[in-house]
């Protein structure tokens, strides 16, 4: 029996970032505005690189 190991995400949508960090949309956007979270636009989507979320959480801890 094989178990599929989930692949790590490279980036999160705003909604996914909120779910992953338990932060509100307002708080996530505030961190983006202040430069504490890096956000990139790909097509019409705003994505947050996973390393940016990890860095934010590590700095807060």
Task: Please report where in the chains the tokens 């779910």 appear, as a residue.
Answer: 19
Angle in degrees, CA 52, 39, 17, rounded to 5: 65
The answer, yes or no, to whether residue 16 has pLDDT greater than 70, is: yes
Stronger pLDDT, 6 or 51, i.e. the higher one: 51
What is residue 61's predicted lDDT score, i.e. its pLDDT?
57
> How confident is the model over 22-54, as pLDDT tens digits?
999 999 999 999 999 999 999 999 999 999 999
* CA distances for 27 relative to 8, 21, 47, 51, angstroms: 24, 10, 15, 18
Which structural domains are found in the chain, ordered by start? 11-60 (1.10.238)
């Amino acid at each position: 029996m094989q178990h599929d190991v989930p692949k790590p995400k490279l980036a999160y949508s705003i909604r996914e970032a909120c779910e992953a960090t338990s932060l509100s949309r307002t708080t996530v956007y505030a961190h983006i505005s202040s430069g504490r979270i890096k956000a990139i636009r790909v097509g019409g989507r705003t994505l947050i690189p996973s390393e940016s979320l990890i860095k934010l959480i590590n700095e807060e801890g």
